[in-house]
A and B are shown apart, each in its own frame.
Chain A
Amino acid sequence: MAEQSTVIGRGDGKLRSLARTAYPLVWIGPAIALIAVVVLWPVVVMFRTSFQHISPDGFVLGRAGWKNYTDLFHEPDLRGVLIRTAVWVVVVVAVTMLLSVALAQLFNERFPGRRVARWALIAPWAASVMMTSLVFRWALDANNGVVNVFLHDLGVLKSFNSNQADWLGRPVSALVWMMVVAVFVSVPFSTYALLAGLQAIGEDVYEAARVDGASRWRAYRSITLPLLRPAFLVAALINIINVFNSFPIIWEMTRGGPGYTTSTTTTFMFQLKQSYIGESAVMSVLNFGLVILLVLLFLRATRWKDQVD
């Protein structure tokens, strides 16, 4: 009898502990389901599509094996697109972070009109990226764009409708201007992230440093920068992902043209999709891998775990 009751008791306990471990699932279940449906499932479909032979009208004609992959790697434009994407991400993120550090420190100081200035910085963030890109595109119009009118008045620009005035027609200058727009829309977020980081550094730390006789420059190097590091890393990482995936700026300003000379992997993927769905899926797989690789490299290089955890 006694033995039997312990067995029942033990079983009871097992069930209870199972219920206890399963209990959080009730709360996180919907989130898991959401992630499975909107994140994991598309990834599965993406990989599957990359191995399918699909007609331009969206009909699956059978398996393609690695053919989509070899086709993509034989695209003559792929090399340039990959190099351009690397330059695009590195330059935009680096310039954004540098500007944001400076701006965040400015906004952390007291000065008249600080509130207005802080609000004003939200504008490029709040405006639609597509709209911002269109505004820049027309401002750079070779015939009567406001940038060209200004440069013409200054005497820098000799004549409208010239090659010099056609900023978005030349691949290099088009890319530079698109980088300007990308920085413009990325700076607000990074600045606010860094500003929050700066505000989290207590005044007492600086006071202690002053008492110990540290100069302002020394305090900046030894207190501000190290303590700002976590905020900086988070902001930089989110920027890397966003800039890598950036589509509307390039699409609205040049559509990746002339040819594919201002395309990044993201816009190139979209251009391929028009006729070659399978190849486009491979480009998508490649993008997926690249962004994961970028993030891992970044985490490793910055010893993320020691810094942020």
Chain B
Amino acid sequence: MKRGLAAVVTLSAAAALALSACGSSKNSVSSDGSTTLKLVAADYGTGPDNSSQKYWQGIADAFHAANPKITVKVQSINWNDFDNQVQTMVQNHQYPDITEGDYFANYAQEGLLYKASDVLSNPQNLLPVFAKLGSYQNEQYGMPFTTSSRALFYNKKLFAQAGISSAPQTWNDIQTDAAKLKGLGKIGFGLPLGSEEAQAESLLWMLGNNSNYQDGNGNWTIDSTQNVAAFQFLKQLVGAGDTEPNPGTKNRTDLWKQFAQGQIGMINGSPALIPIIGQGKVLTDADWTSVPIAGQSGPLQTTLGVCDFAAAFKNGGTSKQAAIKSFLDFAYQDKYQLQFDKEYDLLPATTSAADALASDPTFGPFLQALPKAVQYPNSPAWANVKAQIQHTIGTAVTDDPKKVLGAIQQTAQKSS
């Protein structure tokens, strides 16, 4: 293979490591009072045109114009690698100053993060619904930046072709409708259990059987009988060929794109699927619709509410903290919240921005559903548990569900 090349790469990597080790001195406030902040954000875009790099760079440039002494360096990372890369930065103690994407309670537990009140002038404006999820021991560290909720999307055109007249409401409906859609040569139900966001799809099915990752008291219930039954249902759905083949290897974004191409009949999605459908230019607005997620015996009364957080790492002295605070105050202005929501069809995370959108015909209903939404577990063990769910839960639809869920349950109990 490439021995010479490998040697060169190794050397330059070593050199880069050495250099970056020097570069990441704790305090990047230089003697003339100028500060550089490193912002690492997840990429919500569907391509280079609407990448989050562009969104954040716009804010960073406007901020720099108003505060010439502070420069914000923006790095965006796609969702597939975001957790892993941020985790690697943390493990190597090369902290970014601000992250926007997933927030993990274990960072707060380790004392790596600033409290929301330390880096935001008006933390009360953050949506209170998600305050608990962003908190550790009653102090809020994760600052909601954008939110969304889940719904079942289906292709009305394909439904009409298959002779289905009503929206799917129960697991039984899903099964029979998917079988009919399969007869058209399409994928009946898109089931993304690959590593990108398996934890969301799995939870929707658990909720459908009145269960969750945790019970009301915060005890892990990953291998509860209801959850095992949910995966047994999925296993036979997959076995019958009513989903795409091998769901454990398929990612959300890829399947959403296939839905937009008209290849998939039904899929659980968030408002972020809407711009993908628009870009696909295959489905018109009349060709699809979204309804509440189907459950075992009826549609879900509450859906999964997902919140992405901004978090600020303790990475320097008080002047750095002041710089972070002035940047976050700037970035949390309503106009940037609304710009983000328009760009990606996601929901705002501040009360003032939510009020501005409350009467919007697209966003309004989603916003009203948010306060009732079910959220991911708030536990320092979640980072570990989620990583294992992403890697292995897809095998529950080919292997023995009880065994796979049991192994994840064990990890959860061990890490708690």
Q: Is B289 an interface residue (CB 8 A)?
A: no
Given contacts A166-B245, A255-B195, whether A58 and B384 have CB atoms under 8 Å apart is: no
- The smallest C-beta distance from A40 to any residue of chain B, in angstroms, reads 13
Q: In the complex the two chains form, what is the Cα distance from A58 to B384 in whole Å?
A: 13
- Contact, CB under 8 Å: A275 / B14: no
| Docked-complex contact A271 and B1, CB < 8 angstroms | no
Chain A residues near B106 (CB-CB < 8 A): 55-57
Q: Which residues of A contact B84 (CB under 8 A)?
A: 274
Is B134 in contact with chain A by the CB < 8 A criterion?
A: no
Interface stretch, picked from A108-116, A237-245, A301-309, is A237-245
Which chain A residues border B194 with CB–CB below 8 Å? 257
A258 touches B398 (CB 8 A): yes
Give the chain A neighbours of B3 by CB distance below 8 A: 189, 238, 242
Q: Shortest beta-carbon distance, A149 to chain B, in Å? A: 15
- A:234-265 near B, CB below 8 Å: 238-239, 242-243, 246, 254-261
Verify A58–B90 contact, CB threshold 8 A: yes
**Are B391 and A259 in contact, CB atoms less than 8 angstroms apart?**
yes
B contact residues around A162 at 8 Å (CB) = 245
Query: Which residues in window 233-281 of B have CB below 8 A to A?
Result: 241, 244-246, 248-250, 258, 261, 263
Q: Decide if A59 is an interface residue (CB 8 Å cutoff).
A: yes
A258 touches B187 (CB 8 A): no
Interface residues of A in 178-196 (CB under 8 A from B): 185-186, 189
CB of B407 closer than 8 Å to a CB of A: yes
Cβ–Cβ contact A166 & B187, under 8 A: no
Q: Mark B1-44, 1 if CB is under 8 A from A, else 0.
A: 11100100011001000000000000000000000000000000
Report whether A242 and B245 are in contact in the complex, using a CB–CB cutoff of 8 Å.
no
Given contacts A125-B2, A275-B387, contact A166 B246 (CB under 8 A): yes
Task: Report how far A285 CA is from B384 CA in the complex, Å.
Answer: 23
B212 vs chain A, min Cβ distance (A): 22
B93 within 8 A of A: yes
Contact B248 A258 (CB under 8 A): yes
- Is the Cβ of B2 less than 8 Å from the Cβ of A169? no
Q: How far apart are B46's CB and chain A's nearest CB, in angstroms?
A: 17
Q: Does A277 contact B (CB under 8 A)?
A: yes
User: Is B379 in the interface zone, CB < 8 Å from A?
Assistant: no
Alpha-carbon distance between A55 and B111 when the two chains are bound, in angstroms: 13
A10-41 residues at the B interface, CB under 8 angstroms: 37-38
Q: For window 307-364 of chain B, which residues contact chain A by CB distance below 8 Å?
A: none
Say if the beta carbon of A224 comes within 8 Å of chain B: no
Residue B138 at the chain A interface, CB threshold 8 Å = no
Interchain CB contact under 8 A, A55 and B110:
yes
- The CA of A189 and the CA of B1, in the complex, are separated in Å by 5
Find out whether the CB atom of B248 lies under 8 angstroms from the CB atom of A189.
no
B1 touches A57 (CB 8 A): no
Decide if A287 is an interface residue (CB 8 Å cutoff): no
**What string of 1s and 0s marks CB contacts (under 8 Å) between B210-252 and chain A?**
0000000000000000000000000000000100111011100
> Are B14 and A38 in contact (CB-based, < 8 A)?
yes
Complex alpha-carbon distance, A259 and B245, angstroms: 15
**Chain A interface residue number, banded:** 35 or more
- Bound complex: CA of A94 vs CA of B388, how far in Å? 35
Q: Convert A66-78 into 0s and 1s, putting 1 for each residue whose CB lies closer than 8 angstroms to a CB of B.
A: 0000000000100
Residue B112 CB within 8 A of the other chain: yes
A166 to chain B, nearest CB (A): 4
Instruction: State in angstroms the CA–CA spacing of A9 and B112 once bound together.
Output: 67
Q: Assess whether A243 is in contact with B195, with CB atoms less than 8 Å apart.
A: no
- Which B residues lie within 8 Å of A275 (CB)? 383-384, 387-388, 415
Which residues does chain A contribute within 8 Å of B244, judged by CB atoms?
142, 161, 166
| B1/A238 in contact, CB under 8 A | yes
A163 lies within 8 A of B245 (CB): yes
Contact flags A139-150 to B (C-beta < 8 A → 1, else 0): 000110000000
Known A55-B110, A161-B263, A238-B3; judge A38-B245 contact (CB<8 A).
no
Q: Is B75 interfacial (CB 8 A cutoff)?
A: no
CA distance A186 to B6 in the complex (A): 13
B395 touches A56 (CB 8 A): no
Tell me the residues in window 266-298 of chain A with beta carbons closer than 8 Å to chain B beta carbons.
Answer: 271, 273-275, 277
Is the pair B110, A57 in contact by a Cβ cutoff of 8 Å? yes
Question: Cβ of B79 < 8 Å from any Cβ of A?
Answer: no
Given the complex, which residues of B lie within 8 Å of A260, measured CB to CB? Answer: 391-392
CA distance A38 to B186 in the complex (A): 53
Interface string of A38-58 (1 = CB under 8 A from B): 100000000000000001111
Instruction: Give the top 7 A-B pairs by smallest Cβ distance, nearest first.
Output: A169-B246, A58-B91, A258-B248, A242-B1, A259-B395, A166-B245, A163-B245
* Further 17 A-B residue pairs, CB within 8 A, beyond A38-B14, A57-B106, A165-B245: A38-B10, A55-B106, A57-B107, A58-B90, A125-B1, A142-B244, A161-B263, A163-B246, A169-B248, A238-B3, A254-B249, A256-B391, A257-B194, A258-B249, A258-B394, A273-B91, A274-B84
B residues lining the A interface (CB < 8 Å): 1-3, 6, 10-11, 14, 83-84, 87, 90-93, 106-107, 110, 112, 185-187, 194-195, 241, 244-246, 248-250, 258, 261, 263, 383-384, 387-388, 391-392, 394-395, 398-399, 407, 415
Chain A interfacial positions (CB closer than 8 Å to B): 37-38, 55-59, 76, 125, 129, 142-143, 159, 161-163, 165-166, 168-170, 185-186, 189, 238-239, 242-243, 246, 254-261, 271, 273-275, 277
